[in-house]
Structure 1
Amino acid sequence: MGREDGIMLNVQHSSPETSSLNASQREGTAQDKHDMWRAGRDQELNRNFRFLSVLGFTAVLMCTWEAVLFGSSYGLTNGGKGGMIYTYLGGLAGFSFVILSMAEMASMAPLSGGQYHWVSEFAPPSSQALLSYLTGWICVLGWHTGIAGCSYTVANMMVGVIAINYPDTYTYERWHVTLLVIAVAMVALMFNTFLAQKLPLIEGIILIVHCFGFFGILIPLWVLSSKVPASEVFGSIENRGGWDNNGLACMAGLVGPIYALIGPDSAVHMAEEIRDASRVLPMGMVWTLILNGSTGLVMIITFAFCVGDIDEVLKSETGFPFIQVFLNATGSVSATTGMTVVIMIMQFCAAISNVATTSRQIYSFARDKGLPFSDFLAQVNPTFTVPLNALCASLVIVSLLALINIGSSVAFNAIMSLGTAALLSSYIISITCVRLRRWRNQPLPPARWSMGKFTPICDTISIMVLLVIWIFSFFPLTKNVDPTTMNWSVVIFGGVVVVSLSYYMLYARKIYKGPVTRVKMMQQ
């Protein structure tokens, strides 16, 4: 069957009355139809995302300038003021190569499966099914912990605001945060159900709030904070984590800026809802890098100038150093509350995007028979035109994760830190498969957005950067640890890998062949 015939078959399914609607909302452009045809998939979701809504989706999910604030405890502990800035610069420079590599892969195969689809299509034939299956499970793990992480951050900020407004009457209990985590996740799910078809408009509006909120935080800090000499900021590298040297301390603090920069693949999982995805998707990822990378740099420099006594802000009862910095700068509980609420709202919006991304990842992986109860999870609700079963499954999983916080906040924090390591693992596997294919001079699908002759260099640097970051993502905050301060994420990560491989060997290998089987079948 030729390429044109495949496209014609997709068009013929539409009735005359709805062909115009399907062309604009469901099937997208001729290139979108061809991309779905090449992957052997029917178009089930509406393509109502455009460039600005994609930019809003990824920029807000990453929440970079917000994340450098609520993740500042890593940098302040391991690096201090100057070390925190230099670590962010290094992380931004290295991670830029990763985002560029993934943007080109997204242009080659803009499918909701993302990394597990790329691995299935580009890995050596002998390992396609196993590597793709493992990557799919790792992505499911990473995005669910992402929802839990966003919801947990919102919940803790709520508790911090209550603590500074009612210092004499409020008593913190872990179950307060647990209930708030479940409530935030539930509201985010409602946004992704009842307002699903308005999500592109919502993301565009949130993008505006994201940009104006940046100045709403930046200006008060510069105007109201005590001024310190630049030498005190840029010339200061501190090691509060007890590491052997300042360099190792800064590497241990790398988790903070990477947490603020991770997640460019979020829009990839929405690819089947983006019009002209093979062009718009990579452009959205690159412009997100430019927008979030620059605003994050300005914000972290500003924060370093305004932080004051590091030991004081790290011991703050608010739970977040940045809330104490706001309070010290403004001298007003009301102003601090207002500034914190801005960041809280943005992080809640990030939770909305996380829920959307996770549900599409589950939906895509389930339709390839990669998960238990795949037929149930792969269904698209005809009323809302979203994978509602996958959305509800995500809510149940996040709620169960939140319950762990009642018994042990250490265990829950370890689970949340898994998100970074899991997504980094999926990046490493997928980029390595493409790099190996190029090294062997094997064919790859054409990319409408490409770095040309610089692509092999970019991919090589990406893999080296990711390996370094991945290793340090399992490091604890300080060198001297006990059971309450140990980073247990490596144990949980290993456990999930063992469980997924066991399930694969016992059952899934009989039914999971990976999306590459459909791609090859359509190409023959």
Structure 2
Amino acid sequence: MEPQQDAKSPEMAGSQLVFDEGYNRDDRDLARLGKKPVLKRNFGFMSILGFSCTVLITWEGMLIVSTQSLLNGGPAGVIWGYIIVWIGTISTFAVLSELASMAPTAGGQYHWVAMLASTSSGRFLSFITGWVTFAGWQAVTVSAAYLIGTLLQSVIILLDSSYTPQPWQTLLFFWAILAFAVFINTVASKTLAHFEGLILVLHIFGFFGILIPLVYLSPHGDASVFTTFVNGGGWPDRGLSFVVGLPASVFSLIGIAHTSTMTWAMLIMIVGADSAVHMSEEIRNATRVVPRAIMISIVLNGALGFAMMVAYLFCLGDLDAVLESQLSLGYPFLYVFQTGVGSTPGAAVMGLIIVILGVCSTVGVLASSSRMLWSFARDRGVPLWRHFVKVRDSAYLLIAEHRILELMLISASFNGEHLSLFTRLRLLP
């Protein structure tokens, strides 16, 4: 839906206050776009950089999704596919960063479409873009919590091979992760910016906490990882197999994912990298900070992901055994940790680092998805928009969208239970 700019709307009323005392540059930028400043700007450069990096969690995602590329493409397919996707990602988000500097609003894509499309089609295209982005962010919130819950179960299996995951247990983990994300975004919302800055530190230290023991303790392969292509999916040729495995590199660079739930991973991949855009109205000096945060997060995360990927492949060991471990562990990288460091508790600790970072990533995902819903409601793109556009007192908590998100997440959790059961039934002979 085309952003509302009715002369009687509060947004346009804000544009008449451009020269009022107390309006800073960020407020003037919003007023120029027909939006009234409402949200408090708590984020600076480092906090929003941490926000972007922890939503993307590239090196963590690379470990989670690499199995698909190892099966279809092999070690060489993982490496060269990653490089191709990384270059493409930088090119794509260079354009989006330019748009973010021109119009730093929480609506992001649908607002840009309204700006750039022709008058005749702008409203329709903006409406469609808004709904696609809105639906994607709601789905990615569910997906993030579900996938991290299943990863936690895999860590438990690693520690206790007699443990049999149950769908209802997945559901409880799912709810617990979401409850934590809702708590940080509501009750502790004033600490959100500081929380994201702290998680950036954990994101970097966690990288070295896994990379160093893995490289130091594991047996090393040779340079054949750069030239060994594998066609394990039974495709007609290796070229097609490489293309089939390529999306896994996309998932690791643009969002978290899981190889047994590739459709869910696509939703995360599509919307994850624009998280900073939807926080624009809470960022100081947004026209400069948002594009810089987007590009630096992609370059930084891409570099960390590439380093982890190369180290992981050199420490991979028996490829067939790694792929077969998916049947018992669900996440083969845990098997690589276990055989590499020679310690099950040590491998579990390394796995828990990724679980913790994944849980923290849901905080940013929920924050971005709630701002997207609020912005779309402000432009009257959703039913009951008057209800969803409300904010509460000086803390500027977005309360209506959290209500609907909780309802959607509870509903989707039952779908997650069925998905978990279906995944396990599919593994039966």
TM-score (norm 1): 0.73
Shift of 1:176: 1.4
Match of 1:295 among 304, 307, 316: 304
Q: Residues 356-381 of structure 1: CA distance to partner in whole angstroms, max 9, x if unpaired?
A: 00000000001111112211111112
Aligned to 1:318: 329
Match of 1:308 among 294, 298, 317: 317
Q: Percent identity?
A: 37
Shift of 1:410: 8.0
Q: Residues 451-476 of structure 1: CA distance to partner in whole angstroms, max 9, x if unpaired?
A: xxxxxxxxxxxxxxxxxxxxxxxxxx
Aligned to 2:260: none
| Separation in structure 2 between the aligned mates of residue 130 and residue 109 of structure 1, nearest angstrom | 19
Shift of 1:6: 7.0
With over 3 angstroms needed to count, the CA separation of the structure-2 counterparts of 1:6 and 1:135, relative to structure 1, is closer
Which secondary structure does the structure 1 equivalent of 2:383 belong to?
coil
Aligned to 2:84: 90
Aligned to 2:266: none
- Paired AA for residue 249 in structure 1: S
| Separation in structure 2 between the aligned mates of residue 273 and residue 213 of structure 1, nearest angstrom | 28
Which secondary structure does the structure 2 equivalent of 1:71 belong to?
helix
- Paired AA for residue 298 in structure 1: A
With over 3 angstroms needed to count, the CA separation of the structure-2 counterparts of 1:222 and 1:404, relative to structure 1, is same
Contact 1:314 / 1:320 at 8 angstroms: preserved in 2?
no
| Separation in structure 1 between the aligned mates of residue 170 and residue 226 of structure 2, nearest angstrom | 37
| Separation in structure 2 between the aligned mates of residue 59 and residue 257 of structure 1, nearest angstrom | 16
Shift of 1:8: 7.1
Contact 2:167 / 2:421 at 8 angstroms: preserved in 1?
no
Match of 2:241 among 241, 249, 262: 249
Which secondary structure does the structure 2 equivalent of 1:307 belong to?
coil
Write the mapping of 1:198-217 to structure 2, written as runs, cut at 5 A: 198-217=191-210
Which secondary structure does the structure 2 equivalent of 1:389 belong to?
helix
Q: Does 1:357 align with 2:368?
A: yes
Match of 1:273 among 282, 299, 317: 282
Q: Does 1:192 align with 2:185?
A: yes
In structure 2, the gaps of 5 or more residues are 1-6, 8-12, 255-271
- Paired AA for residue 388 in structure 2: L
Contact 1:175 / 1:405 at 8 angstroms: preserved in 2?
no
Aligned to 2:258: none
| Separation in structure 1 between the aligned mates of residue 421 and residue 245 of structure 2, nearest angstrom | 19
Which secondary structure does the structure 1 equivalent of 2:37 belong to?
coil
| Separation in structure 2 between the aligned mates of residue 241 and residue 397 of structure 1, nearest angstrom | 36
Aligned residues: 397
Match of 1:261 among 235, 243, 253: 253
| Separation in structure 1 between the aligned mates of residue 354 and residue 102 of structure 2, nearest angstrom | 35
Contact 2:14 / 2:34 at 8 angstroms: preserved in 1?
no
Aligned to 1:140: 134
Match of 2:32 among 38, 56, 61: 38
Shift of 1:484: 5.5
- Paired AA for residue 77 in structure 2: G
Aligned to 2:230: 238
Shift of 1:179: 2.2
Shift of 1:79: 0.9
Contact 2:138 / 2:405 at 8 angstroms: preserved in 1?
yes
| Separation in structure 2 between the aligned mates of residue 268 and residue 236 of structure 1, nearest angstrom | 39
| Separation in structure 1 between the aligned mates of residue 134 and residue 410 of structure 2, nearest angstrom | 15
Contact 2:231 / 2:238 at 8 angstroms: preserved in 1?
yes
Which secondary structure does the structure 2 equivalent of 1:9 belong to?
coil
With over 3 angstroms needed to count, the CA separation of the structure-2 counterparts of 1:412 and 1:382, relative to structure 1, is farther
Shift of 1:412: 8.8
| Separation in structure 1 between the aligned mates of residue 426 and residue 65 of structure 2, nearest angstrom | 19
Match of 2:418 among 397, 407, 420: 407
Q: Residues 160-192 of structure 1: CA distance to partner in whole angstroms, max 9, x if unpaired?
A: 111122222x22112211221122112101111
Q: Does 1:9 align with 2:17?
A: yes
| Separation in structure 2 between the aligned mates of residue 343 and residue 308 of structure 1, nearest angstrom | 21
| Separation in structure 1 between the aligned mates of residue 321 and residue 400 of structure 2, nearest angstrom | 46
Write the mapping of 1:10-29 to structure 2, written as runs, cut at 5 A: 10=18, 12=20, 29=24
| Separation in structure 2 between the aligned mates of residue 377 and residue 120 of structure 1, nearest angstrom | 22
With over 3 angstroms needed to count, the CA separation of the structure-2 counterparts of 1:181 and 1:11, relative to structure 1, is farther
| Separation in structure 2 between the aligned mates of residue 242 and residue 174 of structure 1, nearest angstrom | 31
Contact 1:81 / 1:237 at 8 angstroms: preserved in 2?
yes
Contact 1:401 / 1:412 at 8 angstroms: preserved in 2?
no
Which secondary structure does the structure 2 equivalent of 1:105 belong to?
helix
- Paired AA for residue 363 in structure 1: W
Which secondary structure does the structure 2 equivalent of 1:301 belong to?
helix
- Paired AA for residue 341 in structure 1: L
Aligned to 2:115: 121
Shift of 1:398: 2.1
| Separation in structure 1 between the aligned mates of residue 65 and residue 405 of structure 2, nearest angstrom | 25
| Separation in structure 1 between the aligned mates of residue 422 and residue 124 of structure 2, nearest angstrom | 29
| Separation in structure 1 between the aligned mates of residue 111 and residue 15 of structure 2, nearest angstrom | 21
- Paired AA for residue 112 in structure 1: A
Q: Residues 372-420 of structure 1: CA distance to partner in whole angstroms, max 9, x if unpaired?
A: 221111111225312111122122212211211323338799xxxxxxx
With over 3 angstroms needed to count, the CA separation of the structure-2 counterparts of 1:279 and 1:410, relative to structure 1, is farther
- Paired AA for residue 217 in structure 1: I
| Separation in structure 2 between the aligned mates of residue 290 and residue 145 of structure 1, nearest angstrom | 26
TM-score (norm 2): 0.88
Contact 2:283 / 2:289 at 8 angstroms: preserved in 1?
yes
RMSD, aligned CA: 2.1
Q: Does 1:221 align with 2:214?
A: yes
Runs of 4+ with deviation above 3 angstroms: 5-8, 408-413
Write the mapping of 1:140-179 to structure 2, written as runs, cut at 5 A: 140-168=134-162, 170-179=163-172
- Paired AA for residue 283 in structure 2: I
